[in-house]
A and B are shown apart, each in its own frame.
Chain A
């Protein structure tokens, strides 16, 4: 039980009288249940306000106000949207493969949700501190590919099929540069656990991985950021749901709450790649200066992730969409060779010093 003592949910649970008397297995079961509920609510609320942020940023980038009507400066707009979505009819057209069609939103949302288990939210605080941490994140996030193909294929719709195939090709291609840039981090740290990676970066911002083995990890961070943009289907890599040519990509036939889960998963993934980037390259919960350590660690972690998410949104409203051949060019002929150079550079740096 010593390992699970670091689980914050379990400590929270033990505050309730009577829980202590339950067996260990029961306590783990309850804490897992509670963690699931808390993170589900957290991602739902985050997604709602990320949509709000996106619309506000879009508005101000385009010199208009964005949502203003519902609540103060439109703060309740996305909640109204969520209630509307809950009241929309969701049905399957008669030509779809019903089993796969129903299963796909579950799988897509589960992959988005399950990576949040291993993140180091604060010193000693993560729901499951796996020693393969970041490897688990890469492995789980790959399940999104079959889920997207299931959604596209089962819809029996030409737009869905094209969107799904493009999406799958894009996600698998960009997994390579992302994986290689993550290896650059692991080579410096020598450990795959997320907590260990963050603990390694303590003591000022110049100790963060992004500034190690300069400039190789700096380049690796940019490769990671571009690759993660493509993996979560954000502009300029949003070809799978290019609305001007493919309607809504693999989500074309979905409606109501099932569609909303694809949407939630997209914003959940945005947060996830923001958090991974913050934890691997920007020091996670470590403050940039020692004297700033009175600010709680989770706040630093969320702030760093929010900065990355803001850049993602900013790029969406600034850049046009790439063409599909340009997409493959960027991945295979620019990012992959640069990632290999980074690995060799980091390796030489670490071996020789």
Chain B
């Protein structure tokens, strides 16, 4: 089995070398133009305004957080999925309890509106007002 992993490693190194080789080939072949203009960042032909490393919408962090919780859960499900048939009903029920606990968290995020991209709040009068407009 370890030899198989060695095979994978060699494969990866060779793939990397081939990418490098192709880039080198292109570097030898391609022409070069001596223009200052081409080194300016692309912003639809205008002069770039300010730095591009700007703040972005915090929704992305929320998505990342929910993802981490579910991804860890998926990792736990993999070994269980292989052996649960041998362990029978007990292992099945136990995993259902585990999933149920996670689904409570999922339901909480759902009710709080964190699964929506544009989070909206309902006012007391029942009118919907969108407080945040995402930049993206």
A residues with CB within 8 A of B: 1, 3-4, 7, 28-29, 31-33, 35-37, 39-40, 85-91, 93-96, 105-106, 109-110, 113-114, 117, 127-131, 135, 153, 155-162, 165-166, 168-169, 172-173, 175-176, 179-180, 183, 186-187, 190-192, 247, 252-253, 256-258, 261, 324-325, 327-329, 332-333, 336, 340, 343-344, 347-348, 350-351
List residues of chain B with CB within 8 A of the CB of A325: 116-118
Give how many A-B residue pairs fall within 8 Å (CB-CB). 229
A74 to B76, CA, bound (A): 50
List residues of chain B with CB within 8 A of the CB of A343: 77, 99
Contact indicator B53/A351 (Cβ below 8 Å): no
List residues of chain B with CB within 8 A of the CB of A180: 74, 77
Determine which of A89, A110, A187, A332 lies in contact with B115 in the assembled complex, contact meaning CB atoms within 8 Å: A332
List residues of chain B with CB within 8 A of the CB of A332: 66, 110, 115
Contact indicator B11/A117 (Cβ below 8 Å): yes
Contact indicator A347/B30 (Cβ below 8 Å): no
List residues of chain B with CB within 8 A of the CB of A29: 10
List residues of chain A with CB within 8 A of the CB of B71: 172, 175-176, 179
In the complex, how many angstroms separate the beta carbon of A325 from the nearest chain B beta carbon?
4
B residues with CB within 8 A of A: 1, 3-20, 22-23, 25-27, 29-33, 38-44, 48, 51-54, 56-57, 59-60, 63-64, 66-67, 70-71, 74, 77-78, 81-85, 88-89, 92, 95-96, 99, 103, 106, 110, 115-118, 136
Contact indicator B43/A157 (Cβ below 8 Å): yes
A7 to B3, CA, bound (A): 11
Query: B32: nearest residue on chain A (CB-CB)?
Result: A89
Contact indicator B41/A183 (Cβ below 8 Å): no
Query: A108: nearest residue on chain B (CB-CB)?
Result: B19
List residues of chain A with CB within 8 A of the CB of B99: 340, 343-344
Contacts A128-B4, A156-B53; is A36 near B41 (CB within 8 Å)?
no
Contact indicator B41/A93 (Cβ below 8 Å): yes
